[in-house]
Amino acid sequence: MFKKYYKTSAIKAEQFDGSKRMIDKYGICRYAQYGYTGPEHWEIRTNNGWVGVYAGDWIATDDNGKCWPITDDVFKQRYAELPMIPKYVAEFIKGEKEGKHPLVGAIVAAEYEKSGYWIAYHSNQFARAWLDGYQVGTDRGELN
């Protein structure tokens, strides 16, 4: 019987736009073959050799610096941006996890913390941040 699995590591990704900045950053080469008349595309070096990448594709990078291209439609199906949370909520999550508290314990404890109000009104974001990771927001607009 097959079981479903999910990836547990976050990646960094940016959408390739064909700019010189991105070409230089990732060591991308323009694809050139005699007689090729298809859409303009480039190639990026991966652990599996040179792989084609088009403007609009995503270039993913893992924690070890390994890069690979992902088509836009596949990227949108498989990945979602990590939630943006306020710094004080990030500090609360870090403290609770260091104390080896479960998610439900953290939610109960949050009632007595500064973060409690934010967590109560952003419970889905909080749960996702607890489980998958998060990005820390700025002071402006962090409660939206």
Categorize the per-residue pLDDT at 140 as very low, low, confident or very high, splitting at 50, 70 and 90: low
pLDDT above 70 as % of the chain:
89
Looking at the structure, tell me whether residues 57 and 96 fall in a common domain. no
Count: domains in the chain: 2
* Rounded Cα gap, residues 67 and 78, in angstroms: 17
Mean pLDDT computed over every residue of the chain: 85
Amino acid 59: pLDDT: 97
**Among 4-13, 34-43, 115-124, 131-140, whose mean pLDDT is lowest?**
34-43
Q: Is the dihedral of CA 15, 20, 24, 30 positive or negative?
A: positive
Amino acid 37: pLDDT: 64
Looking at the structure, tell me whether residues 69 and 17 fall in a common domain. yes
The full DSSP string for 30-67 is: E---TT--S---EEEEETTEEEEE-TT-EEEE-TT--E
Looking at the structure, tell me whether residues 26 and 74 fall in a common domain. yes
| Whether the predicted pLDDT of 144 surpasses 50 | no
Cβ atoms of residues 19 and 28 within 8 Å: no
Q: Does 30 or 56 have the greater pLDDT score?
A: 56
Looking at the structure, tell me whether residues 20 and 66 fall in a common domain. yes
Amino acid 94: pLDDT: 92
* Rounded Cα gap, residues 105 and 65, in angstroms: 35
In a domain, 142, yes or no: no
Q: Does 139 or 137 have the greater pLDDT score?
A: 137
Amino acid 109: pLDDT: 77
Range of the domain at 94: 84-136
* Rounded Cα gap, residues 80 and 53, in angstroms: 21
pTM score:
0.70
Amino acid 35: pLDDT: 61
